[in-house]
A = this chain, B = another copy of it.
Amino acid sequence: MIESIFNRITEEYCEISPETINDWSEKIKIVEYKKKHLLAKEGTYSRKFYFIVKGAIKAYYMLDGKNVTDWFAFENDFIPSTTNHIIGQKSTHYIELLEDSILIELDADHLEYLCKKHHDFEHLYRLVLSKTIHQLRERIASLQFRTVQQRYTSLIDLHPKIESRVPLGDIASFLGITQETLSRIRASR
């Protein structure tokens, strides 16, 4: 079980030495939570870092009393929204499970420890951040000047199953539009 997870990570990012893997695997905890469980709450300190083995999450924050969904993550993703808390600040976001999920949990202190102790771990983490940057860039390009149709289409291309796994309202929010508009776009295809 654990090995196959480390394999997934190594394949996706880079090789990791056995020592690092050992040290790492001592620090992690495999956790299971039900749909709607909150991994983080706005205004609280939740210094945890997650990798999704199975399941899906959304990250959102409140704006004028409404939820704004910021980020989705699925199997084999790290949850980068948590990186904020890692610098020791209160969370600006809620992170909610969209499905019953299995996660690997790593304490922020342990993350720092592993980075400091093992160069290859810090390298891996650097690659994870690079990937996140790439995704954020794509997202900005999408929000900045594409029409709503184009935004929706490219989201579906990227995550074909998102429609069945994520409520329409959250997808609309992520795209920066109302759910009525998204519903109409969907209908017109």
Contact = CB atoms under 8 A, between A and B. Distances in A.
Complex copy number for this chain: 2
Q: Interface residues of A: mostly helix, strand, loop or mixed? A: helix
A136 to B, nearest CB: 4
A176 B151 CA distance: 14
Contacts of A116: 123
Nearest to A143: B143
A60 B84 CA distance: 28
Contacts of A137: 70, 84, 136
Q: How large is the interface on A (under 10, 10 to 19, 20 to 34, 35 or more residues)?
A: 20 to 34
A144 B63 CA distance: 11
A122 B124 CA distance: 10
A13 to B, nearest CB: 13
B129 A70 contact: no
Interface in A135-176: 136-137, 139-141, 143-145, 176
Interface of A: 61, 63, 68, 70, 80, 83-84, 87, 115-116, 119, 122-123, 125-126, 129-130, 132-134, 136-137, 139-141, 143-145, 176
Nearest 8 CB-CB pairings of A with B:
A136-B136, A143-B143, A129-B129, A119-B119, A144-B176, A126-B126, A122-B122, A68-B145
